[in-house]
Every structure is written in C-alpha cells, then in structure tokens.
Amino acid sequence: QGTPKDPLILAPGQSVEMDPVYVRFTRDPVIALEDYAEAIAAVVPPLTWDGDPQTGWATWYEFFADVTEKNVRDHIAALTEQGYAEAGYRGLQLDDGYQREWGDWHVNEKFPSGLDQLATDIDAAGLIPGIWIAPFLVDTDLPTFNDNPDWFLKDASGEFVLYSDAINGPKGVLDVTHPEAADFLRGVIRARVDDGFRYLKLDFLYAGAYEAVRHDPRVTALQAYNQALDLMREEAGDGVYLLASGQPMLPTVGHFHAARTSIDIVYTFYRKTLLRGSANIARYNAARAWMQPLYDLDPDNLCVRPKMTVGQAWTTTVSNALVAGNVFLGDDLTKLAPERAALLADPATLAMLDLRGPMRPLDLFDHPVDKVIWAALLDVLLRASDTAQVWYRDGVLAIVNFDKAPISRFVDVERLGLPGGSAVRLTGLDHEETREFTGKILLSAEPEQALLYRVEPLEK
C-alpha cells in the first residue's frame, strides 16, 4: 500500500511486487464479481472453518453497554429451553459492556462470576461462548495509554492518531510494529481464549490500518494491519472462530473466518428497530454477497421486535437470511412474542440457512443510488427501493420489497442457470402458491413484503 500519507519508498535497485489486477469483460456483472472472488481466493487462500457458519444470539442490540451477567444467564436458559438451540442457534456472544474500559478488557462489577466461569457455563449448556473485543483501541485515560506513549500511532508532527466518535470518546490506536504493543495485543487475545471463548468478534479493525508514523517506519499501514491480524490469529489458535467487524474487506481475507458486511441494524442512540434500517443494511449486504468464497458473511444481527409489524419482521428475516452466512439473533428472547419468535424457526428461514451461503442478487445493478452519501448515519435517508429485490440460489428464488408500493419483476430463466425458454414451476416456501412459466418468470410483491419460492424445471 502506498496511499498519499503512507508512501512506500524504494531504495535504488529495490523492487516490490504489486498485487495482481483483475480485468473481466462480461454481460453479467454479478457473475463477474463472483468470479473475481474466486480469483482473489486463488491468490490469498481464505481462512476456512471445518464446521458450519456460526448462529446464535448476541447481547448488543437489546442491552447495549448496559448488559449484565443476569442478561446472559437468562439467555443461556432461553436458547436451551425455548427451542432456539435445537433450531440451530447455538452461539451466545457477549458484546460491548462487560469490560472496565476499552483497552482494559478485565470484567467489570456487572459480571461477578468472571468471564472464565461464564464461558464455562455457556459451554456446559451445549452452547458456543463468544465475546466482542476492540483489540486495537485503548481509552486515553488508562495507564496503558499514558504510561506507554510509544505503543500508539502518531502523525508526522508527533501528535497521537486517535479513534473517536460521538458516543465512545477518544481512544489510542495500538502500533503493532512496536514489540511491546504487539505483546500487549497478544495478551488481550490470549486472555479471552484462556477464559474459554471459542468465538471472537474483533471490532473496529480499520483503526489498525490508519495512515500514521509507526515505530517501524519501513512498514506501511496495511502491512502493519496484516502483521496484527497474523498475530491475533496465531494467538487465538485453530479452534477459535474469528469474526472481523469494522474491517477493510480485501486486506482481511485469509485472516478471519467471517466478515461483517453492513453497518448496525439498530443505532445506539435510537435503540428502535425500523424497516428502514433493515432496507439500509440489505443494500450493504447485497453489494458484498459476492464475497462468500472469501468469508462466512455476517449480515448483522436479526431483530424482529416492535416497532416493526410482524409482516415487516418477516421481510427483515428473509432479507437477513438471504446473505447468511452467520445469523445471530438480537432481541430479548425472554420477552419476544410467540408470533415473532416463530419467524426465526420458520421452515422457510431454516431452508435459506441450510444453503450455508448467500443467494445471488440478480438485480444488484438495477437500483442505482443517485445521492451522495457523505455520512454513514444518513444513508437511511435513501429510498427503500435502492437495493436488490430478486435473489436466487440452488433452486430457491426470493423477491424482497422494502418499498411502500407494490412491485413486479421479470426474471429470465437463463439467470437461474437454465437453458433459454425453459419451463419452470414455482412453489411458495412461505405461502400457498404454485405457478408455471416458460422463458420468463413474473414475480410480484405487495408493499413491505418478501416471498420465497422453490423453482423446479419442467419438461416442455
């Protein structure tokens, strides 16, 4: 990498091999993206996981940083006693809120049993213990930051390069080219693995790729980023599943089993579920569905609670499952109404999850975004229709309409991998309907509706 503030300076006679460039001419850009992913995988082998992608429940979108040990223990019971684990939701991931401060990842007073005992009890219930960490970030009021200034990124004038946002405040960013900072990072990962956590969600990773002056000036931002990812993967070991969140997508290939593909489904400052938020992350997830050969894709947690109606919650469920990958539930399962809980174990939902990878957004390039998005929080203002609506994979066809008006879409059977002019039968997976078409399929959906079909070729 040699970005404007991060030059790669070569000495006379020195050379460097650049990354390959991929060029493809095609009539179908969606297929071209999938081929691009295969080409990337041939250059940088993905980090594979022998088992299925991860599914389960996570604390963040219900409890946020207010989470307590009781909340977690209540959900050990909910997952095991209310049928969720039996349906496949076997992970339990503790998110932000357990730690004293960012950078001091010891447990706070809300978790009197300690993380090691909690992980042991999650495991004893037949669930997979998971935990969230922001490994590169350290609160600036901690001794770790103030007593070790050489451990952290600085700019050319010697000022700290800080991560900061309106909610979390300023944080130093570890410079892993400093041996002591690298050892500190190793210790953070090792401690959670030693506690018994077998699923690590590592967040705000892009901070590790900030342009800065590093302890080792010969190392570029992305070279340092790759060093840090290698270090964390090595410390975690082969038996721990790694999810990257807030990461540069391509530089993370080969280091993590899974990658988050969207922004948050529920904003911290608002804490309400809205169909608009579901439509927003659907846009992100559709744009990254082609990356499935490189990672298990994580489309963010699935939330189906009010203020969404039950119908809107089903549309959200379908949209989330289209990309899975990983599926983690985000509602308080101890309070979720039965008709909403039923959506999560609906046979149609589980049929999509059994595909173990994203469906293909056939109309990905048919919905251009014609506004400049200058802040991520404002992309919820885009039209709900500005995202893929027709998806297909392995005999399952979906139409998803987030808009407030009905839609109809034609799909050529050749887009499904069938010969032109083929006859097909569509059978509803989530509703009673059977129709037959030749050559082109007509799909229709009412406002804020999602429909799933099984597609079967017919003899002419």
For residue 223, pLDDT over 80 is answered with yes
pLDDT score, position 319? 94
Q: Do residues 93 and 56 touch, judged by C-beta distance below 8 A?
A: yes
Q: Tell me the per-residue pLDDT of 412-436, one tens digit each, with 9 for 90 and over.
A: 999 999 999 999 999 999 999 999 9
Q: Do 127 and 255 belong to one domain?
A: yes
For residue 166, pLDDT over 90 is answered with no
Question: Shortest CA distance to 322 belongs to which of 292, 342, 295, 294?
Answer: 292
Q: Tell me the per-residue pLDDT of 33-67, one tens digit each, with 9 for 90 and over.
A: 999 999 999 999 999 999 888 999 999 999 999 99
Number of neighbours of residue 26 by Cβ within 10 angstroms: 10
Report which residue type is found at 420.
G
Strands (E), 79-234: 91-94, 99-101, 104-107, 128-133, 137-139, 162-163, 171-173, 199-202
Q: What percent of the chain has pLDDT over 70?
A: 96
Specify the 3-state DSSP secondary structure of 81: helix
Beta bridge partners of 231: none
Q: Do 69 and 188 belong to one domain?
A: yes
Specify the 3-state DSSP secondary structure of 454: strand
For residue 197, pLDDT over 90 is answered with yes
Q: Do residues 297 and 324 touch, judged by C-beta distance below 8 A?
A: yes
As a whole number of angstroms, the distance between CA 405 and CA 428 comes to 21
Do the domain assignments include residue 157?
Answer: yes
Question: In the predicted model, what is the mean pLDDT of residues 292-300?
Answer: 95
**Residue 385, domain CATH:** 2.60.40.1180
Q: Do 205 and 80 belong to one domain?
A: yes
Long-range pairs for 73-78 at CB < 8 Å and ≥24 separation?
73/118, 73/121, 74/334, 75/333, 75/334, 76/121, 76/122, 76/125, 76/127, 77/334, 78/333, 78/334
pLDDT band at 3 (very low <50, low <70, confident <90, very high): low
Q: Tell me the per-residue pLDDT of 254-279, one tens digit each, with 9 for 90 and over.
A: 999 999 999 899 876 678 888 888 99
As a whole number of angstroms, the distance between CA 392 and CA 399 comes to 9
pLDDT score, position 45? 98
How many CA within 13 A on the CB side of residue 299? 33
Q: Do 386 and 247 belong to one domain?
A: no
pLDDT score, position 353? 77
Q: What is the mean pLDDT of the chain?
A: 93
Q: Which of 260, 287, 308 marks a domain boundary?
A: 260
pLDDT band at 28 (very low <50, low <70, confident <90, very high): very high
Provide the domain limits for residue 219.
Answer: 43-260
pLDDT score, position 91? 98
pLDDT score, position 235? 99
Q: Read off the pTM.
A: 0.96
pLDDT score, position 409? 98
Q: Of 67-71, 175-179, 257-261, 355-359, which gets the smallest average pLDDT?
A: 355-359
Q: Which of 260, 277, 293 marks a domain boundary?
A: 260
For residue 187, pLDDT over 80 is answered with yes
How many CA within 13 A on the CB side of residue 217? 6
Written as one string, the DSSP assignment of 397-418 is EEEE--SSS-EEEEEEGGGGTP
Q: Tell me the per-residue pLDDT of 104-154, one tens digit each, with 9 for 90 and over.
A: 999 999 999 999 999 999 999 999 999 999 999 999 999 999 999 999 999
Q: Tell me the per-residue pLDDT of 69-106, one tens digit each, with 9 for 90 and over.
A: 999 999 999 999 999 999 999 999 999 999 999 999 99
pLDDT score, position 215? 97
Q: Tell me the per-residue pLDDT of 374-390, one tens digit each, with 9 for 90 and over.
A: 666 667 677 778 899 99
CA dihedral of 364, 368, 371, 375, whole degrees rounded to 10? 10
Do the domain assignments include residue 175?
Answer: yes
Do the domain assignments include residue 306?
Answer: no
Q: Which of 204, 234, 260 marks a domain boundary?
A: 260
For residue 307, pLDDT over 80 is answered with yes
Report which residue type is found at 346.
D
pLDDT score, position 274? 83
Strands (E), 319-420: 327-329, 360-361, 390-393, 396-400, 407-412
How wide is the angle at C-alpha 48 spanned by C-alphas 254 and 188, nearest 5°?
Answer: 65
pLDDT band at 460 (very low <50, low <70, confident <90, very high): low
pLDDT score, position 368? 82
Number of neighbours of residue 64 by Cβ within 10 angstroms: 14
As a whole number of angstroms, the distance between CA 132 and CA 262 comes to 17
pLDDT score, position 7? 75
- How many domains does the chain contain in total? 2
Do the domain assignments include residue 342?
Answer: no
**Residue 207, domain CATH:** 3.20.20.70
Do the domain assignments include residue 349?
Answer: no
